[in-house]
Structure 1
């Protein structure tokens, strides 16, 4: 057990500190290689989502990763042909020089794009757009960057495929695709509204007044190829709806995302370029973390943690909702949200003795794994991507300043979302 814990801590150090200029994927891969020394071959297969004669994995990792890759294909396709940039610039123009309207519209567009793609895609796409616009209009970028980042992590709770952690949780707990949205719609809306109100008053002085309108960007001209954008939107709609039917038919959701990705490849006819746009670092990062976390499970660490959680919440869904939402959110900032989710899924599913407890555990984990990214920049991969994109545009924020904001805003937002979820579970 001690060896596995040491490897886990070392992996976390390599991911967070990134010594010798290692990226997070390389750090996770090195951790996976070291953890493999403590595992049997069948453990590694199970970590990757394959059943063996020794057991059936809780999460079908290969299905989750395949979905992740294919959703990247669809999202980067729409991004490359200017759809997301069009949405963002259109919203900025609609604000008509009013800073408060611009603040509101930026927040709303971020929620819209994130809800139907993912927080990572929204962050990668919108960060440079917002910074360039703020620079051109002479605006303080901080209110817009903070509100947009927080909104991206909140809105990703809405759909089953809105965040990688959602897919992990949904797959492990066998959550219904449409049921997921039914349960998470109101908690997500509560979080969006509460977060916006807090930020609106927090930055009220910075977003007061007007800014000069720039006419040098025509939003329509940002769409590089309308037929291609139509294909991308059709593929996205197919995935959003088709995954629900696949779930109902008990088919892997990757069946639908594969069809959507193939439609993109066939329409574009640039397979090499499109494949290069996939963030393979993220894929390696995720696969490696599952092997690292498998080591903790095999060593018995998960059982100990599960016993502690059970002693605190018992089998009470309401207690569970608040405790798991808060605990998992703060745990994201200890081990990052993806390994936190991969570690907590088998723990929480193993101690849920009733269907009500299973639902409380699952959806509380969704809240925590998404909103935990808003406490510190390193709480999720999204924060690391956000800071890297911002630095490329010569903008940055202090780590202590971000943490101060996160600790003020996020616990209130988590509590609001958890309270709505608890009411849903009671009703």
Structure 2
């Protein structure tokens, strides 16, 4: 048990810091090495490790990543970024349009893929207009995190939570869509207020020549975009109106899109986040080994004694929000789902878990993968978003959105 606990803690230390201190082992590497170590020391058998991996969540996530990748290779994301950023409107209106687009795309497609595809383009296009890219990038990131909370297919943690709690697509939509939509005008109002005098690049900015370094993007292909759009609509329709297993729907859609006469399957698959899939698989094994010790169940009892009941939606909402900013939202959801009683008030628990981990993601840079992607890709394009700059906007956005979501959960 001691070895199991030690390995478990080391894995989640890596989740929190991004790497295992002292080693060049990132989150994915830590999850995989941890899973291997737990099998080697006998904390979990290889058979039990395989059985611990939820193939339904992995299958659905992989399939939907392929669907989102189809929009990358068709040039849709590049086209959308260019059309939005070049609209002849004032900066506050442009901010509102960008938030709406980010929230919409992230609710239908995997939010991390959307952020990866569009961030460099937004940097280049806003700077070409002489605009300060920071408020637009922060708005795009914040809206992607909260907007993706509105649907089951918006983010990996949504899929894991829905599978674990047995929520249908419609059931998920019923308890998360409205607060996700309400979060978007909150983001706009706060960022428009904070950056009202800083819309344009100042003379002393260090972000020079970035507009001349536009990233190379695929040409817009209307036929492939329409194909991807029709497949996406078919996926959503199947989720809403059929009883087919969600992972089979997603994998079937991926198969249809991978069979293509003009785009190589390898070009599409390289946009699938294999590291994230491996991280989730590794964490399934690590968490299962830890559960077999009985310590999580004991901790749950201790929390109840202290007045913290994770099956109370508000308690779960707050714990999920705090935990996601320590270890990340996907690991947080994977830790919490197994201890929840889905037979009682599953809708409210699902809303609490998804909104708590999703809305709190905007607090700090490392609160979400989307935040890390935006900051790192912006830096690669010559735009610095410091930890303090991110938090200065992220803290008020998170607090107001969390307060609104808490009121919604209490109403449920």
CA distance in 2, matches of 1:144, 1:179: 32
The CA deviation at 1:85 is: 2.0
Structure 1 SS opposite 2:292? helix
Match of 2:229 among 215, 233, 236: 233
CA distance in 1, matches of 2:45, 2:72: 42
CA distance in 1, matches of 2:168, 2:63: 20
Distance 1:326 1:172, change over 3 A: same
Alpha-carbon contact 2:323-2:332 (below 8 Å) kept:
yes
Which aligned runs of 4 or more in structure 1 are off by greater than 4 angstroms? Answer: none
Match of 1:376 among 364, 371, 394: 364
Tell whether 2:390 aligns with 1:402.
Answer: yes
Deviations 1:326-345 (A, max 9, x none): 22111111111111111100
The CA deviation at 1:409 is: 2.5
The CA deviation at 1:196 is: 2.4
Alpha-carbon contact 2:191-2:393 (below 8 Å) kept:
no
Structure 2 SS opposite 1:191? helix
Structure 2 SS opposite 1:267? coil
> Normalization by structure 1: what TM-score?
0.85
CA distance in 1, matches of 2:299, 2:183: 28
Structure 1 SS opposite 2:149? coil
Tell whether 2:294 aligns with 1:300.
Answer: yes
Distance 1:409 1:274, change over 3 A: closer
Tell whether 2:1 aligns with 1:14.
Answer: no
> Normalization by structure 2: what TM-score?
0.88
Instruction: Identify the residue that residue 44 of structure 1 maps to in structure 2.
Output: 49
The CA deviation at 1:97 is: 4.6
The CA deviation at 1:404 is: 4.1
Instruction: Identify the residue that residue 262 of structure 1 maps to in structure 2.
Output: 255
The CA deviation at 1:283 is: 1.2
Tell whether 2:355 aligns with 1:355.
Answer: no
The CA deviation at 1:20 is: 4.2
CA distance in 1, matches of 2:146, 2:173: 14
> What is the RMSD computed on CA atoms of the aligned residues?
2.5
Deviations 1:95-129 (A, max 9, x none): x1511111111111111111111220221122111
Match of 2:284 among 290, 301, 307: 290
The CA deviation at 1:73 is: 1.2
Tell whether 2:63 aligns with 1:77.
Answer: no
Distance 1:266 1:120, change over 3 A: same
Match of 2:57 among 58, 61, 64: 64
Residue segments in structure 1 that go unaligned for 5+ positions in a row: 49-60, 210-215
Alpha-carbon contact 1:113-1:122 (below 8 Å) kept:
yes
Instruction: Identify the residue that residue 31 of structure 1 maps to in structure 2.
Output: 34
The CA deviation at 1:184 is: 1.1
Alpha-carbon contact 1:328-1:368 (below 8 Å) kept:
yes
Alpha-carbon contact 1:184-1:363 (below 8 Å) kept:
yes
The CA deviation at 1:310 is: 3.5
Alpha-carbon contact 2:12-2:327 (below 8 Å) kept:
yes
CA distance in 2, matches of 1:284, 1:70: 15
Instruction: Identify the residue that residue 415 of structure 1 maps to in structure 2.
Output: 403
Alpha-carbon contact 2:5-2:290 (below 8 Å) kept:
yes
Instruction: Identify the residue that residue 55 of structure 1 maps to in structure 2.
Output: none
Q: How does 1:136-151 map to 2 (within 5 A)?
A: 136-151=128-143
Deviations 1:113-164 (A, max 9, x none): 1111122022112211111112212221211111111110000111111111
Alpha-carbon contact 1:67-1:257 (below 8 Å) kept:
yes
CA distance in 2, matches of 1:137, 1:325: 41
Instruction: Identify the residue that residue 390 of structure 1 maps to in structure 2.
Output: 378
Alpha-carbon contact 2:62-2:251 (below 8 Å) kept:
no
